[in-house]
């Protein structure tokens, strides 16, 4: 009995041990399975994170490309830089060359293309890009092809207007104009406001003149009243505050000349012993030489203020022809401009002073204004250039050399 009971108890203990082992094994297997599932989930997360990151980056890149595409659709479809045309009258010499150099420098800095167009009524219009790498077709329009040879304006004025038409045909997006007359400028403004191929009105930047014409984007010019004051003051100093002064130049129809004459009179009004004679009207060098000859033959004149280049050269020609000495004093000349022949007369002492403007700055600032307007930036309605009084004594100063000879490297 005892043995059977002991055996029965051993069997129960053994069974309990086996059950405990089986239960522990089951729990361990369940724990292992759970651990495997957790690890698998973690690995899945680890795998998904880079994928999500790459998907986010791809989405950002796609958005960026889409924005760039939208931006490009509003830009020049050809992706070419803006093309700015510089229209200058024919035969304007060193000032026109200085303007061109300044415009070229600004265009290069701004990444624009500059086209220089000069009007030659007898030989056609020469269209020449300043960039040697630019391959646009060069154009020439013969006189007989322009309005069948009929000119409501003068030949030179009409040639300048047609030069604008040629520039617009070649894709000019802005115009820099040194107009010959108010009448020519009105026709040019009318053409520019007909809008280009994209339906945009072409901005017009006016150089060196002050014509009261609507539609001008910006004016780059000197203060001609102040320049006239400079000329009058310089002459008063030369004459010691007393004497007879004559004005020489074209008739008072151009605002530039009207303002210069106004400035001269304002300055000389401070000197009661200086008398200003009636202006002698002339427009060419030969005509001004004849006017100066007649003036000096008929009146006592101690000084001549020449309101433009041709007048100063004509007066210098007459003074060079006749004996300029009168009681130890010679007739003084104060003029405007910086043409090569004027500088030669200045160096030789036939002209005492020249009021000089910075043509390089005019071209440079003109292009800057045009580029700003094309980029929808603020544009100044007027930019005033400084003038300098140059004489034989200071014409070789370094600053004046840069002003007088900007084309010399």
HEC-encoded secondary structure of 58-79: HHHHHHHHHHHHHHHHHCCCCC
Is the separation of the CB atoms in 306 and 283 below 8 Å? no
DSSP state of 279: P
Burial class for 116, CB neighbours closer than 10 Å (0-12, 13-18, 19+): buried
Mean pLDDT of 276-281: 84
- Give how far the C-alpha of residue 81 lies from the chain's centroid of Cα atoms, to the nearest Å: 15
Place of tokens 């101690």: 302
Mean pLDDT of the chain: 76
- Residue pLDDT, tens place only, 53-77: 545 555 545 444 444 444 333 334 4
What are the structure tokens assigned to 42, written together?
């973690």
DSSP state of 392: T
CA atoms of 101 and 364, how far apart (whole Å): 8
Q: Is the pLDDT of residue 92 over 70?
A: no
Which stretch of DSSP H or E encloses residue 354? strand 353-357
Place of tokens 């802005």: 174
Mean pLDDT of 325-343: 81
Using DSSP's 3-state secondary structure scheme, residue 10 falls into helix
Per mean pLDDT, which range of 149-158, 332-341, 345-354, 379-388 is the poorest? 149-158
Is the separation of the CB atoms in 271 and 240 below 8 Å? no
pLDDT of residue 52: 44
What are the structure tokens assigned to 204, written together?
């017009």
Other C-beta atoms within 10 Å of 28: how many? Answer: 10
Mean pLDDT of 258-263: 93
- Residue pLDDT, tens place only, 347-379: 988 999 999 998 899 999 999 999 999 999 999
Give me the sign of the Cα torsion angle 89, 95, 96, 99. Answer: negative
pLDDT of residue 380: 92
The half-sphere exposure of 226 on its side-chain side, counting CA atoms within 13 A, is: 11
- Residue pLDDT, tens place only, 43-55: 544 544 444 454 5
CA atoms of 278 and 190, how far apart (whole Å): 38
Using CA atoms, how far residue 225 sits from 209, 229, 314, in Å, is 13, 6, 23
Is the separation of the CB atoms in 110 and 368 below 8 Å? yes
pLDDT of residue 274: 96
Using CA atoms, how far residue 389 sits from 111, 240, 306, in Å, is 35, 18, 14
Which stretch of DSSP H or E encloses residue 247? strand 243-249
User: What's the CA angle centered on 343, arms 250 and 97, to 5 degrees?
Assistant: 80
Q: What is the pTM of this model?
A: 0.70
CA atoms of 48 and 379, how far apart (whole Å): 55
């Amino acid at each position: 009995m005892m043995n059977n009971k002991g055996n029965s108890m051993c069997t129960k203990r053994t069974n309990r041990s086996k059950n405990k082992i089986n239960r522990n094994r089951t729990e361990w297997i369940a724990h292992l399975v759970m651990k495997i599932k957790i690890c698998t989930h973690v690995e899945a997360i680890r795998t998904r994170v880079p994928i999500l990151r790459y998907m986010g980056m791809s989405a950002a890149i796609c958005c960026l490309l889409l924005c760039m595409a939208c931006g490009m659709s509003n830009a020049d479809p050809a992706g070419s830089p803006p093309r700015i045309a510089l229209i200058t009258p024919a035969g304007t010499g060193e000032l026109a060359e200085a303007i061109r150099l300044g415009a070229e420098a600004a265009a290069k800095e701004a990444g624009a293309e500059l086209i220089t167009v000069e009007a030659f009524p007898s030989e056609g219009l020469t269209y020449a890009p300043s960039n040697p790498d630019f391959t646009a077709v060069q154009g020439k329009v013969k006189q007989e092809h322009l309005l069948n040879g009929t000119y409501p304006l003068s030949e030179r004025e009409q040639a300048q207007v047609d030069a604008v038409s040629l520039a617009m045909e070649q894709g000019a997006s802005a115009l820099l104009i040194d107009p010959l007359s108010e009448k020519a400028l009105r026709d040019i403004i009318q053409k520019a406001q007909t809008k280009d191929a994209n339906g945009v009105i072409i901005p017009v930047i006016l150089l060196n003149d002050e014509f009261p014409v609507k539609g001008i984007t910006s004016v780059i010019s000197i203060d001609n009243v102040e320049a006239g004051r400079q000329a009058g003051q310089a002459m008063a100093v030369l004459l010691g505050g007393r004497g007879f002064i004559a004005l020489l130049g074209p008739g008072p129809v151009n605002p530039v000349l009207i303002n210069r004459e106004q400035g001269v009179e304002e300055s000389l009004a401070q000197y009661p012993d200086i008398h200003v004679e009636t202006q002698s009207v002339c427009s060419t060098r030969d005509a001004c030489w004849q006017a100066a000859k007649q003036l000096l033959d008929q009146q006592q004149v101690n000084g001549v203020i020449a309101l433009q280049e041709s007048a100063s050269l004509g007066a210098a020609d007459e003074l060079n022809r006749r004996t300029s000495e009168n009681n130890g004093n010679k007739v003084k000349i104060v003029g405007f401009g910086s043409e090569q022949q004027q500088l030669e007369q200045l160096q030789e002492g036939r002209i005492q002073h020249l009021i000089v403007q910075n043509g390089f700055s005019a071209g440079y600032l003109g292009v800057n204004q045009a580029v700003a307007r094309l980029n929808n930036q603020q544009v100044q309605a007027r930019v005033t250039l400084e003038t300098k009084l140059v004489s034989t004594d200071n014409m070789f100063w370094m600053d004046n050399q840069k002003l007088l000879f900007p084309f010399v490297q």
